[in-house]
């Protein structure tokens, strides 16, 4: 008797939503938001909490609000990859969920601090708040907030690396898998280098690396989006031809060999 593996349509749709959220999050938290802040109320280079408090404007939290959308989209993308993984890929996909949870915890917490706690400290700033503000503001390149940020994205790198093999059925999927895998060492390396060289993110080299990493993340999300849409389209076309069976590269080996 044939054993047919139909694709997980719910998982694919979840991944499509996650990829769209990731793309929008990159745009909103990156070029648009940063350009808006720089054009209206830029924060000067870090020179202590007092100057930061005097220069603070609520519009400066917009990039972090966009970052929340970005993190949410990536969590959905990893969850989708877990849902559509086959049995041989399941152990790595399970581990990816754990690393994704660590990523979301660290980065969500950081963005909550930046959008809620830091503005509260700045409003009615007093000198006793200076050490806390210095430790938690991302305007300070050597703050604890940057440690949470960079190591959080490092954990995401582990997660994307682990689910890369889920996308291996077609040439397009393999391209998506390579992008997911490439994000692994790059993001992990960013966390490690932050421990070795605190504050490097705000240097010219760090800003260039940030821009290139955003391009990689954008390409990764676009490739995953297209790959999942093609899975759904192929499954739909197969269902019209023969509703009882799936076809294409997502069949099991047993189904293909029995024909």
pLDDT digits (tens, 9 = 90+) for 152-187: 999 999 999 999 999 998 999 999 999 999 999 999
CA 190 from chain center: how many Å? 14
CA distance 225 to 203: 33
Tally Cβ neighbours within 10 Å of residue 86. Answer: 13
CA distance 174 to 171: 5
Which residue's structure tokens are 């200076």? 130
CA distance 63 to 115: 9
Q: Residue 251: inside a domain, yes or no? A: no
Q: Residue 80: inside a domain, yes or no? A: yes
Q: Residue 253: inside a domain, yes or no? A: no
Q: Residue 156: inside a domain, yes or no? A: yes
Q: What is the pLDDT of residue 236?
A: 72
Name the nearest CA neighbour of 19 among 235, 167, 229: 229
Q: Residue 192: inside a domain, yes or no? A: yes
Mean pLDDT for 24-45 is 90
Structural domain boundaries enclosing 160: 9-230
CA distance 117 to 138: 12
Band of residue 34 on the pLDDT scale cut at 50, 70, 90: confident
Q: Residue 256: inside a domain, yes or no? A: no
* Total domains present in the chain: 1
20-23 contact pairs (CB < 8 A, 24+) = 20/73, 20/225, 21/69, 21/70, 21/72, 21/73, 21/74, 21/76, 22/70, 22/73, 22/74, 22/77, 22/217, 22/221, 23/73, 23/218, 23/221, 23/222, 23/225
Q: Residue 1: inside a domain, yes or no? A: no
Q: What is the pLDDT of residue 8?
A: 83
Q: Residue 4: inside a domain, yes or no? A: no
Name the nearest CA neighbour of 104 among 156, 54, 39, 139: 156
């Amino acid at each position: 008797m044939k054993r047919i593996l139909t694709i997980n349509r719910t998982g694919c749709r979840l991944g499509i939503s996650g990829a769209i959220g990731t793309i929008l999050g990159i745009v909103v938290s990156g070029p648009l938001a940063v350009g808006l802040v720089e054009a209206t109320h830029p924060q000067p280079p870090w020179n202590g909490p007092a100057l930061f408090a005097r220069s603070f404007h609520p519009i400066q939290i917009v990039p972090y609000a966009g970052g929340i959308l970005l993190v949410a989209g990536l969590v959905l993308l990893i969850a989708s990859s877990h849902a559509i993984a086959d049995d041989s890929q399941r152990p790595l996909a399970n581990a990816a969920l754990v690393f994704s949870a660590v990523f979301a915890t660290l980065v969500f917490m950081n963005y909550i601090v930046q959008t809620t706690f830091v503005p509260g400290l700045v409003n009615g700033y007093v000198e006793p708040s200076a050490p806390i503000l210095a430790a938690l503001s991302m305007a300070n390149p050597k703050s604890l907030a940057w440690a949470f940020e960079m190591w959080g994205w490092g954990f995401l790198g582990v997660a994307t690396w682990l689910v890369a093999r889920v996308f291996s059925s077609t040439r397009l999927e393999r391209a998506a898998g390579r992008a997911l895998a490439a994000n692994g060492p790059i993001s992990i390396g960013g966390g490690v280098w932050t421990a070795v060289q605190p504050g490097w993110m705000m240097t010219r080299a760090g800003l260039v690396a940030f821009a290139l990493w955003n391009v990689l993340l954008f390409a990764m999300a676009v490739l995953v989006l297209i790959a999942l849409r093609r899975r759904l389209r192929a499954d739909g076309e197969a269902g019209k031809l023969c509703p009882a069976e799936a076809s294409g590269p997502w069949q099991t080996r047993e189904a293909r060999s029995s024909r």
